[in-house]
Amino acid sequence: MEEGMLYLVSTPIGNLKDITLRALETLKEADEIYCEDTRHSQVLLSAYDIRKPLFSLHKFNEARRGEEIARKVREGKKIACISDAGMPGISDPGEGLVRFFRAEGLPLTVLPGPNAALTALVLSGFSCQPFVFLGFLPEKKKDRAALLERWRRAPGTLIFYAAPHDVERDLRDLAEALGDRRAAAVREISKLHESVSLGTLKQPRLDAVRGEFVLVVEGAAEEENPRCALTPAEHVAALEAEGLSRAEAVKQAARERKVPKNQVYQAVLGKNGDE
């Protein structure tokens, strides 16, 4: 019997031409396709004249469908899994299916392709290294407050998804939790009305509240080390008072001040020489 396989296939997040040749080939060769919304996926499949049996796979039936898909793969079938847009598993069904297949030792692969979070990050012009993808904010205010407190001091760029009816509320909550940082509201990626609105969390300058949003938020500013306000010699002396040796204190002071070690050492020698 031919070995079956599960293919997680990335699909366009807007423009239907943003699909790989391998993705089209896999969808055409699949025995069946599981998708988040059969009506939505039919638009893409019809555009490329792909006619396959379609089955729904969403957050309410993913566990049950996992057993079903596993059985079909064991029978030697090629099963493709797609979400409404982008990569399955990224704020979309698919993550649980992969975990189940890994636990069962069944074959699967992922076909890379469009991703709204990474596209928006690059469009924003904010730092790409590091970044933290946090998806949709929790619905309950208590849960979202806890999440934002956890990541409030993260130095990396923060990326969130937001539905059009939630984006203004999400921006308010982000501003309350994180302060008035630079932010970009990216919407309708790769579509006709794609836009990037640059501003701050308190003044986001949204050009419209339509379409799906990705909110890209500047990371936390590095907290100022109070010892860096001292002279280099005083800095070293403060570290020595905490129990470090002279050599260790010089190295630590150089790291904290982000300067060469010799620069700190010379400052200390100069102070001692004056004395």
pLDDT digits (tens, 9 = 90+) for 29-58: 999 999 999 999 999 999 999 999 999 999
Contact 167, 213 (CB under 8 A): yes
So what's the pLDDT on residue 271? 58
Q: Output the pLDDT for position 273.
A: 44
| Statement: residue 245 has pLDDT above 80 | yes
**Of the ranges 56-65, 72-81, 121-130, which one carries the lowest mean pLDDT score?**
56-65
Q: Encoding tokens for residue 75?
A: 């029978």
Q: What six digits make up the tokens of 227?
A: 């010892």
Q: What percent of the chain has pLDDT over 90?
A: 67
- The number of beta carbons lying within 10 Å of the beta carbon of residue 255 is 11
Q: Report the chain's terminal Cα–Cα distance, integer Å.
A: 87
Q: What is the pLDDT, as a whole number, of residue 275?
A: 40
Radius of gyration of the chain (CA): 26
Residue 138: pLDDT over 90: yes
Cβ contact 105:19 at 8 Å: no
Task: State CA 100 to chain mean position distance.
Answer: 23
Q: Which residue has the tokens 């555009």?
A: 47
pLDDT of residue 233: 86
At 32, the amino acid letter reads E
Average per-residue pLDDT in the chain? Answer: 90
> Quick one: average pLDDT of 240-249?
87
- Angstrom CA distances, 275 to 83, 124, 268, 270, 271, stand at 72, 53, 11, 9, 6
DSSP state for residue 33 in the 8-state scheme = E
Is this model's pTM higher than 0.75 or not? yes
DSSP 173: H
Residue 274 has pLDDT above 80, yes or no: no
**pLDDT at position 224 over 80:** no
pLDDT for the residue numbered 237: 87
pLDDT of amino acid 20: 97
Write down the domain spans for the chain. 5-114, 117-217, 226-274
* 3-class secondary structure, 75: coil
Question: Sorting pLDDT into bands at 50, 70 and 90, what band is 1?
Answer: very low
The closest of 100, 111, 93, 101 to 36, measured between CA atoms, is 93
Q: Which of 98, 17, 108 is nearest to 57 (CA)?
A: 98
- CA–CA–CA angle 213, 218, 220 (5° rounding): 140
Condensed to tens digits (0 to 9), the pLDDT of residues 70-111 reads 999 999 999 999 999 999 999 889 999 999 999 999 999 999
With b for 16 or more beta-carbon neighbours within 10 A and e for fewer, the 40-79 pattern comes to ebeebbeeeebeeebbbbeeeebeebbeebbebbeeebbb
DSSP state of 11: B
Mapping DSSP to helix (H, G, I), strand (E, B) and coil, where does residue 2 land? coil
96 SS3 class:
helix
Class of domain 5-114: alpha beta
**What mean pLDDT is predicted for residues 257-273?**
76
Q: So what's the pLDDT on residue 236?
A: 87
Instruction: Give the residue-averaged pLDDT of 159-185.
Output: 94
Task: Write out the two tokens for 53.
Answer: 């049996």
The CATH architecture annotation of domain 117-217 reads: 2-Layer Sandwich (3.30)
Query: What pLDDT band is residue 259 in, cutting at 50, 70 and 90?
Result: confident
